[in-house]
């Protein structure tokens, strides 16, 4: 009897809800992977997944800004699997919505935003590089970025700057580690908790034209589904080619077409 091929091992940060949770579901249910998650909380949805995938899902409670906890979590991954085939850096925060000139601007909030969206990535990459190099499939890192990385929406200063720094980190890491494929992905305006926060707090903080666009997308039902952009992210973590390494790609553009969720044919 031919032995079954080994399953790829993928680490996902910020996996308790939204895009991260969708990615975990897809990796487990559709792409036959072993998944390790890092998140500050265990949502009911994540607990349900754990109960269904006891042998292929490891859930680690971890705040990615806690350097000691993050190092310990990744050490657990190393001891358990001795390799890492995919790393999805999804943990992120929007930060406060204030103009840079605001007299109540919090520099501490900017620093926290960068701790989550950028510096935690640096530490994770630093520790995970040997594991990614040990991959039997070819190590891959997917940075969940944002269109804000190349934009400049008023009051989004910390978020936009941290995502721009993320893209720069992805390019640099790709050049430093040519054997590891590194791709930054724009997931689109996704129907997640972040959009809910924007609708609740944006009208009092953002320019009317900016916040109205997000509200209209929600009302029209045109926000991206987490499972749609999540499928692209999950697939890239397993199959992204070297030709994309260092690139910033959009989940719905031509460069990602082959990684999208297969279209389900309607029953006749």
For the CA atoms of 71, 76, 79, 85, the dihedral, rounded to the nearest 10 degrees, stands at -80
pLDDT band at 22 (very low <50, low <70, confident <90, very high): very high
Rounded Cα–Cα distance for residues 125 and 140 (Å): 11
Give me the catalytic one of 16, 98, 120, 163. Answer: 163
In which element (H, E) is residue 188 found? Answer: none
* Degrees, nearest 5: CA angle 175-171-12: 105
Q: Is the pLDDT of residue 1 over 70?
A: no
Closest by Cα among 90, 115, 232, 247 to 173: 247
pLDDT band at 263 (very low <50, low <70, confident <90, very high): confident
What is the structure's pLDDT at 262? 87
Give me the catalytic one of 135, 145, 162, 182. Answer: 145
Residue 21, CA atoms < 13 Å, CB-side half-sphere: 20
Share of the chain above pLDDT 90, in %: 95
Regarding pTM above 0.85, the answer is yes
Phi/psi of residue 248, nearest 5 degrees: -110, 110
Helix, strand, coil distribution of the chain in percent, nearest 5 = 50, 15, 35
Mean pLDDT for 107-135 is 98
* Mean pLDDT, the chain, whole residue set: 95
Widest pairwise Cα distance in the chain: 71
Residue 243, CA atoms < 13 Å, CB-side half-sphere: 3
Share of the chain above pLDDT 70, in %: 97
What is the structure's pLDDT at 259? 97
* Residues across the chain: 268
Rounded Cα–Cα distance for residues 218 and 207 (Å): 17
What is the structure's pLDDT at 261? 92
Rounded Cα–Cα distance for residues 110 and 75 (Å): 29
Q: Catalytic: 145?
A: yes
Would you kindly state where each structural domain of the chain is located, as residue ranges?
Answer: 9-190+225-253
pLDDT band at 4 (very low <50, low <70, confident <90, very high): confident
| pLDDT 10s digits, 229-243 | 999 999 999 999 999
CATH of domain 9-190+225-253: 3.40.50.720
Q: Poorest-confidence range of 72-76, 170-174, 263-267?
A: 263-267
What is the structure's pLDDT at 206? 95
pLDDT band at 5 (very low <50, low <70, confident <90, very high): confident
| pLDDT 10s digits, 137-195 | 999 999 999 999 999 899 999 999 999 999 999 999 999 999 999 999 999 999 999 99
Contact 123, 63 (CB under 8 A): no
Q: Catalytic: 163?
A: yes
């Amino acid at each position: 009897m031919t032995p079954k091929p080994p399953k790829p091992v993928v680490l996902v940060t910020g996996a308790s809800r939204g895009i991260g949770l969708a990615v975990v579901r897809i990796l487990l249910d559709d792409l036959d992977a072993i998944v390790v998650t890092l998140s500050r909380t265990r949502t009911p949805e994540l607990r349900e997944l754990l109960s269904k995938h006891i042998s292929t899902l490891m859930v680690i409670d971890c705040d990615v800004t806690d350097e000691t906890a993050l190092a310990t979590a990744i050490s657990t991954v190393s001891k358990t699997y001795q390799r890492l085939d995919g790393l999805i850096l999804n943990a992120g925060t929007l930060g406060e919505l204030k103009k840079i000139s605001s007299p109540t601007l919090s520099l501490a909030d900017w620093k926290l935003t960068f701790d989550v969206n950028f510096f935690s990535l640096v530490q994770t990459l630093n520790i995970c590089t040997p594991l990614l190099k040990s991959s039997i499939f070819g190590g891959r890192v997917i940075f969940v970025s944002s269109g804000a990385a190349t934009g400049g929406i008023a009051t989004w200063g910390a978020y936009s700057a941290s995502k721009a720094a993320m893209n720069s980190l992805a390019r640099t890491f790709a050049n430093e580690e040519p054997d590891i494929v590194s791709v930054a992905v724009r997931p689109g305006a996704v129907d997640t908790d972040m959009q809910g926060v924007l609708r609740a707090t944006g009208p009092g903080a953002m320019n009317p034209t900016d916040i109205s666009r997000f509200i209209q997308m929600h009302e029209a039902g045109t926000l991206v589904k987490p499972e749609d952009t999540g499928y692209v992210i999950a697939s890239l973590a397993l199959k992204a080619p070297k030709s994309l390494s260092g690139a910033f790609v959009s989940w719905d553009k031509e460069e990602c077409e082959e990684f999208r969720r297969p279209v389900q044919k309607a029953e006749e």
